[in-house]
Amino acid sequence: MMRALAFLPPGDIPAGFNALTIAIRQQNYLADFGDLLTYMEETWVAPMCPPDRPALVKFPPALWSVHTKTLTGQDHMNNKVKGWHMQINTFMGHSYLAFYIFLEELKKFFCAKD
């Protein structure tokens, strides 16, 4: 259910997270998920704060919500990253390259792209 938050509009994510937190408390799973909920709230969601005090988080919901992208059929960033990663893997033809060999191959990859 935590991953489903990304499909909510950014403004609805704190309320969705709050509903999820309440459900976890009602099922008596807070001991199991308390640390995860704290991390998610402080890093990704933004706590439910009074309007006069903006919440500061490292990654605000507007940054990671895919609600609008899903409705409009746009690519999700993760799909682009996976595609780019696949191109590099195919180009190099090997896994687990030594660092300096990887750098040389990466230079060749970007020269070939230009």
Which tens digit of pLDDT belongs to each residue from 61-85?
888 888 888 888 877 667 777 888 8
Q: How far apart are CA 25 and CA 34, in angstroms?
A: 9
Residue ranges covered by each domain of the chain: 3-72, 77-113
Structure tokens at 65: 């919500």
The pTM (predicted TM-score) of the whole model is 0.60
pLDDT at residue 47 in the model: 60
Q: pLDDT band for position 7 (50/70/90)?
A: very high
pLDDT at 26 over 70: yes
Q: Between residues 23 and 69, which one has the greater pLDDT?
A: 23
In terms of pLDDT, which residue wins out, 53 or 30? 30
